Amino acid sequence: MRLGIYTNRLKDETLEIAKNIGKYAEEEGIDCVLLEEHTEVEKNEELIKSVDIVLIVGGDGTVLNLCDQVARLDKPILSVNNGRMGFLTEIELFEVPEALHKIKQGNFRIEERMMVEMEAYGKKYSALNEILVVRDKRNGISTIDIKCDGVYIDTYEGDGIILSTPTGSTGYSLSSGGPILSPNINALLLTPLCVHSLHNRPIVLNENEVVELEIDSRDDKNVAYVDGKEIGVKIKPGSKIIIKKSDLTVKFVRITSQSFYKRMYNKLVQWNNLTKE
């Protein structure tokens, strides 16, 4: 068994957390290697290929930073919360020794989560949470025509739209009035952002349906984000973007028996109450 440790360097500057995890792993007879956040992509991929599990320490953003690369290499993730919400994380830092012991004993399971794929300007991008097409700097109205499997749905005029997975339904989409979807279903969730209308509502689409976005805005001030990362391309008027279910999945190591609904309650309800105290 070999473990790859990836830690948020903004919260673990001296790598003290990573080193402690390495000591716990050594006590269990588990070999470890450190995955550097800023290492060359090719070198990092070789390291990831050499491990059995990638242990990620941080918050949801840290998990999202690496999940696409890990998914492409078909490696499972054990996510450890060292952030605020940590909705994507499985355990807390103090639970690491027990988790490593269970992993050594083979007492864990693998849960797969679907990803969503965007094709724009001849390139493909995959996301675990969501694809966001939005007006840059919110300095005007974004006009987007939406089709599903070639059939026109509606034209959204507002800040933009979110196409999320069930995993991403508890993120930006939820904050924008979208429903929470169980991760046990595969679907795409279309959530309009601040649309200037009284009748536009979120839509849940079948996992196999293909969504086409055509930008009708008068300028090129629309941009796309993939799990919070800007792709660095201004989307020109008349451009078409294809969004669909990705062939990739993210595999998560599950140590606890906690259900999605219990996790949702703990993360959303209890956390919200604590912040008010």
Task: Report how far apart the first and last C-alpha atoms of the chain are (Å, whole number).
Answer: 43
What tokens were used for 45? 């991929």
The residues near 47 (Cβ < 8 Å, ≥ 6 apart) are 4, 33, 35, 39
- For residues 147 and 242, what is the distance between their CA atoms, to the nearest angstrom? 10
Contact 76, 251 (CB under 8 A): yes
Alpha helices in the chain, H assignment, sequence order: 16-27, 41-49, 60-72, 96-104, 172-175, 260-264, 271-276
Spell out where 167-272 has E strands. 187-193, 203-206, 211-215, 222-226, 229-230, 240-254
CA distance 241 to 233: 12
Active-site residue among 60, 68, 159, 227? 60
Q: Does the annotation count 220 as an active-site position? A: no
What does the chain come to in residues? 277
Distance set, CA 251 to CA 41, 70, 120, 128 (Å): 20, 9, 26, 11
Return the active site residues. Answer: 60
